[in-house]
Amino acid sequence: MPEDLNLVKDLAVILIASGVFTILSKALKQPLILGYIVAGFLVGPHLGLLSGIGISDTESVRQWSEIGIIFLLFGLGLEFSFKKLLKVGSAALITAGINCLGMFLIGILTGTALGWQMMESVFLGGMLSMSSTTIIIKAYTEMGLKEKPYAPLVFGILVVEDLIAVLLMVLLSTLAASHRFSGGEMVLALAKLVFFLILWFLVGIYLIPTLLRKYRSYLSDEIMLLVSIGLCFAMVTLASSLGFSEALGAFVMGSILSETMEGERIARLTAPLKDLFGAVFFVSVGMMVDPAVIAQYWLPILIIALVVVVFMFVFSMLGASLSGKGLSTSTHTAMSLLQLGEFSFIIAGMGVTLGVLRGFVYPVIITVSVLTTFTTPYLIKAADPMERFLRGHLPARLLSRIDHEDIDQTTSKAARNQWRSMLKSYFLRVLLYSVLLTAILMASHIYLPGLVAFLLPSVSPDLRGILVAVVTLVVMIPFLYGLAISGSSIKHAASRLIKESDAGVWRVLALMVLRILIALSFCIAAIVSNVEISAVALTGVAVLFLTIFFILRVHFHRLASIEDRFFENLHQKEIQARRERPVAASVQRKLSAYGIHPRRVVVSADSTYAGKALRDIPIRSESGANIIKILRGHRSILVPAADEIIYPGDILLAIGTHGQLASFTALMSATADFSEETPSEFSLECFVLDESSFLTGKRLREAGIRDGGCMVVSILRGEEMITNPSPDLLFEVGDGVWIAGEKKSVAWFGGEK
């Protein structure tokens, strides 16, 4: 075969093998990634099963796999969204932070204990720090767990871990390049990374959605595909030129495009390319697995796999518990995260490419990842037995403290500290505008002196410096305006704080002075970097400039349109949703703060209320929960009547928040069945009522909900949560209504008239 056709033959072997083994993986209900890795293992050079027709040019495959990494990270960015990161909440941030930091340190200790070199141990810590987003989402989808109350926390942790993984890739590559552990260099690398991430995001969100919206009528699927891939590769090139990894550039561009109205469309168009090159990447991963290395290093493989399962459970459990989640949520969360993810492959490959990892490390990590991937579904299923084990063996005081924290967390979600909220908005605003002003200063210092010298060669150097300083200050005006003048949200919060106490006046004044001083420092930097001037004259010029700025600030109000355009682009999806369904969009945000879900409890023989009718049990008044179903042997009683008697051994399907269900379990002296499995015909849904909804304008007693085998569990109206609605309650537009019962009936009552 001609040499130039070897690549075609290699791709044919890769794609056919991956197709065959992914079909087998699908049939065996295993993640597709395993099929890719097995395919690469079999067609690779180490096993030698396909002598003559196997892979002939591993270098070409390696280049294709690098493109695969770019598309994988681009696709991950399209699913990421920085706004998701801001919405995941403190629980996900705390759990992911504790888990990643703990596993990073444990990885270093494990590598050191195994006799690995220090750089290899550090990379091992990075590889053990992240779970697999792909495998967990796949497992949750196939096992029907995406609607479980702990699922949002798991997905939030994965979002945070993805960002941490990207940061780790940059820091580890910097560390590998310097070959020494310099704290100063790491801090500078991290500061550089954060600076450019913010700058790219701000500029990208301002420009790209605007351009896509302006030329939307011209963007057919073909052109949109070309434009999006072009933007991806442009950012990859920019990131690489600045010393960052190509994967970081792809991830950043994907996250920027995900915030546009075309984000879902771009994800759909690029999905085939991501799948194709992603398959090549994972097959190339399998090609790196050497059976001889596995046989030689089987003991380190088992040790590392055991470390992953044990310590990732410990740190995830600790993080979730400390963040205020109860034992049930913490256990299910921890048992879901016990595997190595795709970033482990990428970090390992990066280490091999940079020459800081010996050849055996790569197949060892791949083998550990395969082992933990195989065990993922079984470990997720083992969460219920694990929780029962912990409940039976943890000290009662510790157990009570964990579950009590969960109740407090649930009931206090709506309460917010106004001062903390204002400080968050204040410092975020200062940070963002400071990044933009710093970027202007850097660009001015690099490009403007040469440009002025080219345009005005006869002008003296001193005058050129003055011209550069003036141009720089003029360009900085819109951003100085944004830095020095508070946004509307900060003004409103500040005015309320001033009215509440005298101390609030001085705090707000101090923050205002600090903001002005920061703006003044940027003015001074713009002058000093271009003009030789005394300290007194410098201060006078800067103060004069700011004074003129504040006097004329009423004429700068149009400059706020820059900020308005940015936030319009950032929130265009939500704006569009509010235009289409203004009531539903506003209420849906409030509904996310309530974790209403079902739980099964078993009535014990010594229960005070065993043998009594439901009407005689103060379930709603003392716990706020509702009983939607009773399982008694082979008999199933859906939406039981008030005269239904409760017997020992009955399985009650109750619905409520974590706190309500905990109170209900204690009230009934029942044993909680924390599997939370519900009958297949049962459904709990939340609907936001609009003008066309069936329930709108009807009273609860008139709707016939109980006759249809359903029950209204709770209603969110404005800021009020109605947990026990009266029969005379009138459903209104904008109500968030939780309905439980038979699936078909629930969908019917929640539908349109």
Q: What is the DSSP letter of 730?
A: B
Entry pTM: 0.66
Residues 466, 343 share a domain? no
Provide the pLDDT for residue 408: 41
Residues 174, 108 share a domain? yes
Average pLDDT estimate for 495-512: 64
DSSP letters, 207-234, are: HHHHHHHHTGGG--HHHHHHHHHHHHHH
Is residue 153 within 8 Å of 333, Cβ to Cβ?
yes
Sorted by sequence, the CB contacts under 8 Å of residue 22 that are 6+ apart come out as 32, 35, 36, 39, 279
- Specify if 405 maps to a domain: no
Phi, psi of 476 (to 5 degrees): -80, -15
- Specify if 20 maps to a domain: no
Q: For the segment 229-264, what is each residue's pLDDT rounded down to a tens digit?
A: 999 999 989 888 887 777 778 888 888 888 888 888
Q: For the segment 610-630, what is each residue's pLDDT rounded down to a tens digit?
A: 888 888 888 877 777 888 788
Least-confidence region, from 21-25, 365-369, 717-721 = 717-721
Number of neighbouring beta carbons within 10 Å of residue 593 = 12
Q: In whole angstroms, how far apart are CA 58 and each of 11, 53, 265, 292, 697?
A: 11, 13, 34, 19, 68
- Specify if 205 maps to a domain: yes
Residues 564, 623 share a domain? no
Instruction: Report which of 293, 369, 410 is spatially closest to residue 131, judged by C-alpha positions.
Output: 369
Residues 599, 537 share a domain? no
pLDDT at 32 over 80: no
Percent of the chain exceeding pLDDT 70 equals 78
Least-confidence region, from 415-429, 526-540, 654-668 = 415-429
SS3 state at 186: helix
Q: For the segment 411-438, what is each residue's pLDDT rounded down to a tens digit?
A: 333 334 566 666 767 777 788 888 888 8
Residues 425, 375 share a domain? no
- The residue range of the domain holding 625 is 590-749
Least-confidence region, from 450-459, 484-493, 546-555, 673-682 = 673-682
CA dihedral over 47, 53, 56, 60, signed as positive or negative: negative
Q: For the segment 60-90, what is each residue's pLDDT rounded down to a tens digit?
A: 667 777 788 888 888 878 877 666 666 556 7
Question: Higher confidence at residue 284 or residue 338?
Answer: 338
Q: Whose structure tokens read 């020494």? A: 180
Domain final residue, candidates 319, 354, 381: 381
Provide the pLDDT for residue 583: 46
Residues 105, 167 share a domain? yes
Residues 431, 377 share a domain? no
Residues 361, 480 share a domain? no
Is residue 655 within 8 Å of 592, Cβ to Cβ?
no
Angstrom distance (rounded) from CA 752 to CA 696: 9
As a whole number of angstroms, the longest Cα–Cα distance in the chain is 102
Provide the pLDDT for residue 477: 79
SS3 state at 377: helix
Sorted by sequence, the CB contacts under 8 Å of residue 81 that are 6+ apart come out as 255, 258, 259
Residues 642, 542 share a domain? no
Angstrom distance (rounded) from CA 656 to CA 672: 14
Residues 543, 471 share a domain? yes
Provide the pLDDT for residue 103: 92
Most confident of the ranges 176-185, 347-356, 578-587: 347-356
Give the HSE-up count for residue 492: Cα atoms under 13 Å, Cβ half-sphere: 6
Residues 558, 595 share a domain? no
Is residue 264 within 8 Å of 75, Cβ to Cβ?
no
Average pLDDT estimate for 151-178: 78
- Specify if 407 maps to a domain: no
- Specify if 1 maps to a domain: no
Angstrom distance (rounded) from CA 647 to CA 605: 8
Q: In whole angstroms, how far apart are CA 358 and each of 41, 171, 248?
A: 19, 20, 24
Where on the phi/psi map is residue 718: left (φ > 0), alpha (ψ -120 to 50), or beta?
A: left
Q: Total domain count for the chain?
A: 3
| Triad 45, 46, 52: Cα angle to 5° | 35
Mean confidence (pLDDT) of the chain: 77
DSSP letters, 57-100, are: -HHHHHHHHHHHHHHHHHHHHHHH-HHHHHHSHHHHHHHHHHHH
Provide the pLDDT for residue 110: 92
Q: In whole angstroms, how far apart are CA 543 and each of 477, 546, 549, 552, 647?
A: 14, 5, 10, 14, 81
SS3 state at 358: coil
Angstrom distance (rounded) from CA 32 to CA 729: 51
- Specify if 136 maps to a domain: yes
Q: Whose structure tokens read 């495998």? A: 135
- Specify if 465 maps to a domain: yes
671: CATH:
3.30.70.1450
Instruction: Report which of 269, 275, 267, 271 is spatially closest to residue 22, judged by C-alpha positions.
Output: 275
360: CATH:
1.20.1530.20
Strand order across the 720-722 sheet: 682-688, 736-742, 710-717, 720-722
Angstrom distance (rounded) from CA 11 to CA 18: 10
- Specify if 488 maps to a domain: yes
Residues 617, 734 share a domain? yes
